[in-house]
Amino acid sequence: MIPCPRERDEQVTLIAWFRQFGWSMLGLQSPDLLIAIPNGGKRALHTAARLRAEGVVAGTPDLLLAVKSGEYGGLWIEMKRRFGGKVSERQKAMHNLLSAQGYAVAVCAGFQAAREAIASYLNVGLPSY
């Protein structure tokens, strides 16, 4: 049985696809419009305190597509593993806050789901592989 990729691996795959050709395939001006938010993971206590002081907020989604589309100011993407990934209560609360401010929020189980969420958000079709 093939193990389920980690959330981090799915995100790295998405970023690699986006930077290589996803951005131009989607009609965007730059690969720099998909931005990672350094929010998750286990850290030393002093590092976590430093990041909080710098403005890191628990529950913030992993990625921001900084592109306005329709009524939305951007697309926040919460990456999860294809199987077994769960959204925490803090993440749900942050997703609700972001939605209330006019952002789209997508919880994506893996690279393919995130790729499709971006294309759907931008109302662009993608070639099937």
pLDDT digits (tens, 9 = 90+) for 1-13: 667 788 899 999 9
Q: Is the pLDDT of residue 129 over 60?
A: no
The verdict on residue 2 lying in a domain is no
What CATH number has the domain bearing residue 23? Answer: 3.40.1350.10
% of the chain exceeding 70 in pLDDT: 94
Rounded to the nearest angstrom, the gap between the alpha carbon of residue 113 and the centroid of all alpha carbons in its chain is 11
Q: What is the pTM (predicted TM-score) of this model?
A: 0.90
Contacts of 68 (CB under 8 A, 6+ apart): 74
Contact 10, 82 (CB under 8 A): yes
Residue 51 lies in a domain: yes
Higher pLDDT, 3 or 56: 56
* Domain assignment present for 83: yes
Within-domain flag for 55 = yes
Domain count, the chain: 1
In a domain, 127, yes or no: no
Residue 129 belongs to some domain of the structure: no
Expressed as residue numbers, the domain containing 113 is: 7-122
For residue 67, tell me if it sits in a domain.
yes
